[in-house]
Amino acid sequence: MTASPLFGTLCLVGIGLINSSIARAARLHGLAGRIVTLDASQQACETALKLGIVDAAGTDPATVLAGADLIIVGTPVGAMAAVGAAIGPHLMPGTIVSDVGSVKMAVVRDLLPHLPEGVHFVPGHPIAGTEHSGPDAGFAELFQGRWCILTPLPGTDAVAVDKVTTLWRTMGSMIEIMEPHHHDKVLAITSHLPHLIAYTIVGTASDLEDDLQQEVIKFSASGFRDFTRIAASDPIMWRDVFLNNKEAVLEVIQRFTEDLTALQRAIRWGEGETLETHFRETRAIRRAIIDAKQA
């Protein structure tokens, strides 16, 4: 716990899984004197208040944002422009604005133009989450031992970047500073493509005949269960991710398609050595992830 709050008032725009986890972690570690949420859903606001994870909640930006020195936007990426237009007029110089979006170029494109002069913009992306959503899905330990990527633009106030870095480190995250475009290319392969594959595989299972579909569900092995967990993620969030990281996602889909075709050919022609070599190489990646404590 910090000796004194890092921020006077932390405002969380959108109170879903990530921001409700931030609220809990910030409270646990004494990172903010006051925690408030701005959400378009009155029900979500009431739930957050009932859970005791925020001190105040509401749907009116002028009221909720008053006095906030750190604002973290946790809405779907596709809503960033609308959020920026709503909060921009109520931001004071010196305020830090960050986010938790899975795509960074689109966030910079849609949110930054609405931020007035003197407001510091430090985009972020915690590599953490579950398939659950809503204010009651969060937990303070979500970020422990996980990476948080920050993508400040050149010339961003160093003190603001340091304060956001301290926030995430105190909540348990490891920090990586990255250029927004590079972030989107990396996440296209490590996160976005796996989600697309999971949605596709589970969708294929849902299109099977009823009797076969029931057997797939009944006899699901761990691999298919893992795919169903990923495919249970927030559909609106992932719709926006794919639409707003289109170029990088399409590039990795093309590379994946080429690799899949090569494996298909190896299976068809009985090329066991090719298959074994490929499987050994990919097994090494799993071991590396375990060694990095990211399993």
Question: Is 2 a member of any domain?
Answer: no
Strand ranges across the sheet with 147-150: 124-126, 147-150, 174-177
Q: Which of 113, 145, 179 is the last residue of a domain?
A: 179
Q: Which of 157, 179, 201 is the last residue of a domain?
A: 179
State the helix-helix crossing angle for 193-206 and 235-244, rounded to 10 degrees. Answer: 130
Do residues 76 and 136 both lie within one domain? yes
Q: Where are the alpha helices (DSSP H) in 55-178?
A: 61-64, 80-87, 105-111, 158-170
Strands 147-150 and 7-13: unpaired
CATH code assigned at 285: 1.10.3660.10
Over residues 202-213, the pLDDT tens digits come to 888 888 878 787
Instruction: Give the chain's domain count.
Output: 2
Question: Is 1 a member of any domain?
Answer: no
Q: How confident is the model at residue 2 (pLDDT cuts 50, 70, 90)?
A: very low
What's the mean pLDDT in 99-115?
97
Do residues 144 and 23 both lie within one domain? yes
Range of the domain at 40: 7-179
Over residues 157-179, the pLDDT tens digits come to 999 999 999 999 999 999 999 99
Beta bridge partners of 98: 72, 122
Report the run of H or E that residue 10 belongs to, with start and end.
strand 7-13
Eight-state DSSP code of residue 141: G
Beta bridge partners of 120: 96
Q: Which of 132, 148, 179 is the last residue of a domain?
A: 179
Do residues 61 and 164 both lie within one domain? yes
Do residues 117 and 22 both lie within one domain? yes
Question: Is 126 a member of any domain?
Answer: yes
- CA distance linking residue 104 with residue 263, whole number of Å: 33
